[in-house]
Chains A and B, each alone.
Chain A
Amino acid sequence: SAVISQKPSRDICQRGTSLTIQCQVDSQVTMMFWYRQQPGQSLTLIATANQGSEATYESGFVIDKFPISRPNLTFSTLTVSNMSPEDSSIYLCSVGGQPQHFGDGTRLSIL
């Protein structure tokens, strides 16, 4: 299965700032997704990262808040913009169809 590297693994940020999370895969993949896992909760899909076109966002998530880039088939970034304490979560990228494989996640805390 693909090896997925996410950076940073964790960060503590000030409210009002933005953070860009990187997801690097060791092989070309067609399907890449971004999920959020709030403390003690399940995973919620934020968006599908499409190579060469705009990401497809799920209900409740908007591009201005979570801009996503997918410049090629091995890399994607998720930016969490204008952060507030409610954005404190684990953000995970995943790749593949069935099964999906997840990165280790980025643990984000907003002060």
Chain B
Amino acid sequence: GQSLEQPSEVTAVEGAIVQINCTYQTSGFYGLSWYQQHDGGAPTFLSYNALDGLEETGRFSSFLSRSDSYGYLLLQELQMKDSASYFCAVVDAGNKLTFGGGTRVLVKP
């Protein structure tokens, strides 16, 4: 089976940088995805890492270390609209997602 750990909540001010860590234990691993979910909304895809290293997409970056079973999502230049829940998810061979518990990010002015 799979298990993922991520912090439950992070608070930061506008313009700050936030890093959300995700550690996982898995019996089958193809990659690590990150999703954003605003209250009342659907999860939306942010990034996917299949290989070690950093993937950058605008203000958001994601990192993976397969040897450490660890990844993180970096949110830069935080904006009020970034207040949401962020989920890491392990991707298996069948493209099934196992989600972490989610990190609620609160951005304050």
Contacts and interface: CB of A to CB of B under 8 A. Distances in A.
Interface stretch (B10-18, B68-76, B97-105): B97-105
A44 B97 CA distance: 8
Interface residues of B, number: 20
Given A42-B99, A43-B97, A98 B44 contact: no
A31 B97 CA distance: 12
Interface string A78-111: 0000000000000010101111111111000000
Given A43-B87, A48-B94, A102 B99 contact: no
A43 B45 CA distance: 14
Contacts of A42: 87, 99-102
Contacts, number: 48
A22 to B, nearest CB: 16
A66 interface: no
A75 interface: no
Nearest to A58: B96
Interface string B74-104: 0000000000000100010011111111100
Nearest to B102: A42
Query: A interface, how many residues as a size bin?
Result: 20 to 34
Interface in B11-29: none
B87 A31 contact: no
A45 interface: yes
Contact of A103 (B42, B45, B96, B97): B42
B95 A100 contact: yes
Contacts of B94: 48
B44 A102 contact: yes
Interface of A: 31, 33, 35, 41-45, 48, 58-59, 92, 94, 96-105
